[in-house]
Amino acid sequence: MREILQITGALSDRSRLRVFAALTRHEELCVCQITEMLGFAPATVSRHMSLLLNAGLVQSRKSGRWVYYRRSTAVSPLLLKWLGQALAQARRMTSCWRMETRR
């Protein structure tokens, strides 16, 4: 039960969900790329990544001064499938809503 709560808690934040989604499309991202993508201070990004790490959703490696993140190999394929479907549906709903508000 604790593992489920950590995973859902980690993905309940829009920024962390964006990072996780980006890591499903890219093999690995440097913390500098994540900082640029989110537009947050490095300390804020570090906190977000710490929560994703503790939930077992991402793995990290350090190379010199840089920290690189990748999606954890332990992430359930069912979770990835569900997230992919949910994000695709959310994008379609958002684009439909934008089209309707322009009319």
Tens place of pLDDT for every residue, the chain, 103 residues?
788 888 889 999 999 999 999 998 899 999 999 999 999 999 999 999 999 999 999 999 999 999 999 999 999 888 889 888 888 887 776 665 455 555 5
Tokens 């890219």 found at: 26
- So what's the pLDDT on residue 94? 61
- So what's the pLDDT on residue 93? 67
- So what's the pLDDT on residue 86? 86
- So what's the pLDDT on residue 80? 86
Q: In this structure, is the dihedral angle defined by the CA atoms of residues 61, 59, 39 and 94, taken in order, positive or negative?
A: positive
Residue 58: closest CA among 1, 15, 7, 5: 7
- So what's the pLDDT on residue 1? 77
- So what's the pLDDT on residue 84? 84
Residue 10 makes CB contacts below 8 A (sequence gap 6+) with 16, 20, 51, 52, 54, 55, 57
CATH number of 45's domain: 1.10.10.10
- Domain containing 62 equals 2-102
Alpha carbon 18 to its chain centroid, in Å, reads: 4
Q: What is the number of domains present in the chain? A: 1
